[in-house]
Amino acid sequence: MYGVAGMAAFEKTMAYAKSKGMIVMADVKRNDIGATAACYANAYVGKTPMPYGEEQAFSSDIATINPYLGVDGIKPFTEACAANGTGVFALVKTSNPSSGQLQDLKYEDGRTLYEAVADLVEEWGAETRGETGYSVIGAVVGATYPGQLAEMREKAPHTFFLVPGYGAQGGGAEGVAKAFDDKGLGAIVNSSRGIIAAYQQEKYASFGAENFAEASRAAVEDMRADIAGALANR
């Protein structure tokens, strides 16, 4: 919402995270038809042709994408990922309350739309599966739908999950644990407001707004312990 200034802050934040050795994910939900999808892919998970050679436009290692356009909008991303050691997560079952308006619609064969997309993600990633069995394209499956998480983990064994909705949106550790495979791998759990705005929560209010970073750190440590405990008790 801040226009060019916002994009500058976005790029600066990613570059800072990269300088600290972090893996950076751009939750941009991009896509379009093939030619434009290739430009998005170059910008976020590939390299862009510049006057003095190819360069990475943004300092991201992973991006979220919209699968609605089908394989035409997916292949440019998987190709860029395979060439650059990066990855993408396609929207499958999102964490927002109204996701079912479209994602829960059923096909004649009984599958829901999100199940059909999950099947396609497995198919689209087949050529890029590595030693761990996972590919460069994963699936976004919300923590607010733990039943679907467990279902998708079983049906999509080669798909890495990005799990939004933990914390502020109501997702809990017990449900999130269902996203991981038998080795405790295969998922990244995302908490945005619960960490960024931790100092506004009653639990961390004692830190005060001036110590927001310390409050965020405490929230991260609590989240990690919470999920680790749930995984141990599966």
Give the C-alpha separation, 170 to 164, whole Å.
Answer: 10
Give the C-alpha separation, 207 to 225, whole Å.
Answer: 20
Task: Kindly report the backbone phi and psi dihedral angles of residue 90, in degrees, each rounded to the nearest multiple of 5, phi listed first.
Answer: -90, 140
pLDDT at position 121, please?
Answer: 97
Distance, first Cα to last Cα, the chain? 42
Q: Which residue has the tokens 């990475």?
A: 56
For residue range 97-112, what is the model confidence (pLDDT) as tens digits?
898 999 999 999 999 9
Give the sheet arrangement for strand 187-189, strand by strand. 25-30, 62-65, 87-93, 137-141, 161-163, 187-189
Strand (E) positions, 51-199?
53-55, 62-65, 87-93, 137-141, 161-163, 187-189
Output the CA torsion sign for 47, 29, 155, 180.
positive
Give the C-alpha separation, 149 to 143, whole Å.
Answer: 7
Give the C-alpha separation, 230 to 146, whole Å.
Answer: 13
pLDDT at position 170, please?
Answer: 73
pLDDT at position 233, please?
Answer: 87
Active-site positions? 29
pLDDT at position 34, please?
Answer: 87
Residue by residue, DSSP assigns 142-167 as -TT-HHHHHHHHHH-TT--EEE--BS
Contact 79, 41 (CB under 8 A): yes
Residue 95 CB neighbours (<10 A):
19
Contact 73, 67 (CB under 8 A): yes
Give the C-alpha separation, 137 to 102, whole Å.
Answer: 22
**Binned average pLDDT, 10 residues per bin, the chain of 234 residues:** 96 95 96 94 95 92 96 96 97 91 94 96 95 94 86 92 82 88 92 92 95 96 94 88
For residue range 55-91, what is the model confidence (pLDDT) as tens digits?
999 999 999 999 999 999 999 999 999 999 999 999 9
Give the C-alpha separation, 160 to 88, whole Å.
Answer: 10
pLDDT at position 168, please?
Answer: 65
Residues 6+ apart with CB under 8 A from 208: 199
